[in-house]
Amino acid sequence: MQFSKFGEKFNRYSGITRLMDDLNEGLRTPGAIMLGGGNPAAIPEMLNYFHQATTEMLNNGELVSALGNYDGPQGKDTFLTALATLLRETYGWDISEKNISLTNGSQSAFFYLFNLLAGQQSDGSHKKILLPLAPEYIGYSDAGIDDDIFVSYRPDIELLDNRMFKYHVDFEQLQVDDAIAAICVSRPTNPTGNVLTDTEIVKLDQLAQDKGIPLIIDNAYGTPFPNIIFEEVTPFWNSNTILCMSLSKLGLPGIRCGIVIANEEITQALTNINGIISLAPGGFGPAIAKHMIDSGDLLRLSTTVIKPFYQERAEFAVALLQSAIHDPRFKIHKPEGAIFLWLWFDQLPISTMELYKRLKARGVLIVPGDHFFFGQKEDWQHAHQCLRMNYVQDQTQMRAGIAIIAEEVNKAYTHELTK
């Protein structure tokens, strides 16, 4: 069969598709230890809450109404209004429902936004999305209808105590020329758990404003919900910011609800795209989220249940890793948020792609670091020395998975010659 150019590109077996395949296969394979994909944890208190909330919604008719009607292409009106009010009251942001649009998962929001702004322009020029700090979210990498829509930069690495490190944006290197359509960062970052500092965000905002291009902040793990962020940082939005949020990491990835907070021009563009591509975004997620806002549960549960749950899991996993792997060349990115640990095996004689294969053969799924460095001009050895590990599994699984990782890493350091 002959596919179009679009067909050829989107028919590729991309990194993100492999990741989702691993996730799906692993979930159905008895004994597999799932430290790979981004499934949020099944937090018992949240599961009970969703059970109870949907039962209430079934009884009062909200559920059937959400399932039985199309919403408008911007997304469920009542939720847009409730969320605008919540954000205005919580942060003092100058927004209304005209600044919010919904998509079927924030993954599709990124597809829309990147292609709205980057790629071939009507004057024939080609524009790109600037990722100021790679490693960055793998799910962006294949989202361009045109090829080559990203340019990314290596970070500065700050070495910390206790075999930890932290990435920073290397502002000396960044070049924001006329070929840049927007700047984009995830905060907290998937894969590293890094949270860009307030100073970094203010500088990026200034760079974007100076160039008259938007700053896209991917807030899938951030505040005020799901609030998987362990650092005190200031939530950021102004009319030049496109803030993308999601209900997935609250524990609802199956309802596919992404939320974009932006100026009215961008909101209108996303609304129009929704109409063409999906008629309307799904209504079930926004109905639950509206229910959670009305009851005051959305922010309360994010702060009192979700955040402490992940923080405790992250600390547990760090302690296990540090006691299982003593080699001083092994370091962990300081976990500041999101649901992953980013492990750096400096001078590892094998690539983490090879390590991924060896671990997969032993039933442990992780994600090799290579996938997260797209948009770079030159290959970087560091990219092949890192891996992403999800830390949300229960203690038994974490112990078993980390023991196997430690064995394979120690074996590689001891027995293989550096290539």
Footprint of ligand PLP (CB under 6 A): 38, 105-107, 137, 139, 186, 190, 218, 220, 246, 248, 253, 258
Rounded to an integer, what distance in angstroms lies between the CA atom of residue 227 and that of residue 249?
Answer: 9
Instruction: Kindly state the smallest distance separating residue 66's Cβ from ligand PLP, in Å.
Output: 18
User: What tokens appear for 413 in the block?
Assistant: 């350091």
CA angle, residues 385, 386, 391, in degrees to nearest 5: 150
Q: Which CB, 227 or 351, lies closer to ligand PLP?
A: 227
Rounded to an integer, what distance in angstroms lies between the CA atom of residue 189 and that of residue 191?
Answer: 6
User: What tokens appear for 211 in the block?
Assistant: 């160039």
Instruction: Kindly state the smallest distance separating residue 212's Cβ from ligand PLP, in Å.
Output: 25
Sign (positive or negative) of CA dihedral 209, 210, 211, 216? negative
Instruction: Kindly state the smallest distance separating residue 340's Cβ from ligand PLP, in Å.
Output: 8
Q: Which of 133, 308, 274, 276 is nearest to 217 (CA)?
A: 133
Q: Is 180 in contact with 186 (CB distance < 8 Å)?
A: no
Rounded to an integer, what distance in angstroms lies between the CA atom of residue 68 and that of residue 89?
Answer: 32
DSSP H helices in 261-305:
264-278, 284-294, 297-301
Instruction: Kindly state the smallest distance separating residue 36's Cβ from ligand PLP, in Å.
Output: 12
**Which residues, listed in sequence order, are joined to residue 365 by a DSSP beta bridge?**
34
Instruction: Kindly state the smallest distance separating residue 346's Cβ from ligand PLP, in Å.
Output: 25
Q: Is 193 in contact with 182 (CB distance < 8 Å)?
A: no
Rounded to an integer, what distance in angstroms lies between the CA atom of residue 130 and that of residue 109?
Answer: 17
User: What tokens appear for 30 in the block?
Assistant: 């008895």
Instruction: Kindly state the smallest distance separating residue 131's Cβ from ligand PLP, in Å.
Output: 12
DSSP tag of 229: B
Q: Which CB, 97 or 218, lies closer to ligand PLP?
A: 218
Rounded to an integer, what distance in angstroms lies between the CA atom of residue 21 and that of residue 356?
Answer: 15
Instruction: Encode 330-354 in three state secondary structure.
Output: EEEECCCECCEEEEEECCCCCCHHH
Q: Which CB, 32 or 339, lies closer to ligand PLP?
A: 339
Instruction: Kindly state the smallest distance separating residue 358's Cβ from ligand PLP, in Å.
Output: 25
Instruction: Kindly state the smallest distance separating residue 97's Cβ from ligand PLP, in Å.
Output: 20
Q: Which CB, 330 or 342, lies closer to ligand PLP?
A: 342
User: What tokens appear for 60 in the block?
Assistant: 């009062």
Instruction: Kindly state the smallest distance separating residue 145's Cβ from ligand PLP, in Å.
Output: 18
Cβ neighbours of residue 377 under 8 Å, at least 6 residues apart?
Answer: none
DSSP tag of 61: T
Position 315, amino acid? E
Instruction: Kindly state the smallest distance separating residue 189's Cβ from ligand PLP, in Å.
Output: 7
- CB neighbourhood size of 44 (10 A): 10
Residue 168, CB half-sphere, CA atoms under 13 Å: how many?
14
